[in-house]
Structure 1
């Protein structure tokens, strides 16, 4: 397991354990949909990061990458049992995982503590405890400034990429300077929450997807999980909700794919219409929530 500390010195707030626990309790009251673990950890993490900033604190982020993400020679994922039994395969697979990280003074030491209620719903945990929970061989991780929203990857390694816009201009530098040992990795850079991501409300859409999926699970899937007479319907619902790509295709993108084809969508048109409306209500809620948090941050900056 290799690490890369890219956390700018003194940029992340140094807080005591009591403050950290208080912030964790406040985060648990925000209604963030931690229960749907199929996807959107980056959106949840950035929402929490923004909330912490509105409270006057800066966090970092810890990123964990499975070999399937950074290497062409492995298909190994972060894999664990889906305890809700909503996934068609019975497993949840991640190529990567990310969570906010706090610098917490405990006694005479400073500990890096992770906020990840999806994996640890009771409290913050040491980052090594968090990494151990992922249980993936050849995992690599980065501890970074929290401003980086998501990473870029490529089909070729860093050493093969030429950062030139054209033959006559200065080289285009990546946003994050990765170390030499990253030269054979497919993770090439990171980017901030701006431009297309900001304009298209990626965070709010991610949170709305997860919340809508949880609503679907609780109302439609959970009651028939052990009903043999409803097995065909259950399998269809699992294919829809348990596979986040299918769920996003239907509700976020209003589109289709080879599983969510015309036949499937016609067959389940009523339930899709119902939850499409729920999705847009959730989206509006998260847009208003994030706008309110950003307004608080802006007001604090104006007072300085």
Structure 2
């Protein structure tokens, strides 16, 4: 047991009931493993707080996030098979942690929709023994990064976290993260799967996967309305109608999640 905070006595029926409620409220965001685990964790935290369940957040970092000499990431299999390479690269992960008696219970629906995981089970999903984890207050939403001392172009976790306030609050990073995940899953169902069923050309499938199956590309196009090395102006012009339609879906999902969050808090 980590023994990182004082906990009141929690009975199993309460744990089971709240676990199911969080799963229901968070669905479907947690089924898109590509990104925004911090948004999933924060919504889960708000619901735990609503039920007066003491908890914190456990953050785990891959070597690429704390070592200047390592590029090692957590390699996670994509259960939706929407990534071009078949696996997802994580630099970090986070989930709420609750103590029940001498047990550490981690609420992480990315890996278990049936029950909380213990610490050993949870860490095993990172698929490496190289990691650092840190227990933090639940109010902290995300962490700060700083340039490496020897490699200024490398972004490393600097040990500090921040809550939802200022720019983060004004720009709705929380709501947009949940909306991005849901919209990507909708596109998986409505765009990638039909293309596969209809034996669409492989180049089209690959383009869809780069657009939808990469969180960096997806948020570049739909959240930031910007461009990157792969999501070029030419690429976005090619799929203009598709992108324009699902930008509308994304905006609708932001409003949906905003309302849910307001109802919780």
149, 167, 190: which one aligns with 1:219: 190
Distance, in Å, in 2 between the alignment partners of 1:253 and 1:6 is 41
11, 14, 18: which one aligns with 1:23: 18
Shift of 1:6: 9.3
Shift of 1:67: 0.2
Instruction: Tell me whether 1:79 sits opposite 2:87 in the alignment.
Output: no
Instruction: Tell me whether 1:130 sits opposite 2:111 in the alignment.
Output: no
Instruction: Tell me whether 1:279 sits opposite 2:250 in the alignment.
Output: yes
206, 213, 218: which one aligns with 1:247: 218
Does structure 2 conserve the Cα–Cα contact (< 8 Å) formed by 1:6 and 1:143? no
Tell me the equivalent position of 2:37: 41
Shift of 1:227: 5.2
Shift of 1:155: 2.0
Does structure 2 conserve the Cα–Cα contact (< 8 Å) formed by 1:6 and 1:144? no
67, 92, 95: which one aligns with 1:96: 92
Instruction: Tell me whether 1:201 sits opposite 2:201 in the alignment.
Output: no
Shift of 1:73: 0.8
Report the secondary structure of 2:31's partner residue.
coil
Distance, in Å, in 1 between the alignment partners of 2:208 and 2:221 is 12
Gaps of 5+ in 2: 150-155
Does structure 1 conserve the Cα–Cα contact (< 8 Å) formed by 2:76 and 2:90? no
Report the secondary structure of 2:183's partner residue.
helix
Shift of 1:149: 1.3
Distance, in Å, in 2 between the alignment partners of 1:46 and 1:31 is 10
TM-score calculated relative to the size of structure 2: 0.91
140, 151, 154: which one aligns with 1:148: 140
Shift of 1:206: 0.1
Tell me the equivalent position of 1:162: none
TM-score calculated relative to the size of structure 1: 0.80
Gaps of 5+ in 1: 158-184, 295-304
- More displaced stretch, 70-79 vs 220-229: 220-229
Instruction: Tell me whether 1:268 sits opposite 2:263 in the alignment.
Output: no
1:108-187 paired onto structure 2 within 5 Å: 110-156=102-148, 186-187=157-158
Shift of 1:58: 2.9
Shift of 1:186: 4.4
Does structure 1 conserve the Cα–Cα contact (< 8 Å) formed by 2:141 and 2:163? yes
Judged with a 3 Å threshold, the aligned counterparts in structure 2 of structure 1 residues 252 and 267 are, in CA distance, closer, same or farther, namely same
How many equivalent pairs are there? 258
Distance, in Å, in 2 between the alignment partners of 1:225 and 1:104 is 45
Shift of 1:43: 0.9
Distance, in Å, in 1 between the alignment partners of 2:143 and 2:164 is 11
Distance, in Å, in 2 between the alignment partners of 1:265 and 1:150 is 30
Tell me the equivalent position of 1:160: none
Q: Kindly name which structure, 1 or 2, has the bigger radius of gyration based on alpha carbons.
A: 1
Report the secondary structure of 1:194's partner residue.
coil
Shift of 1:14: 4.2
Does structure 2 conserve the Cα–Cα contact (< 8 Å) formed by 1:154 and 1:188? no
Does structure 1 conserve the Cα–Cα contact (< 8 Å) formed by 2:26 and 2:43? no
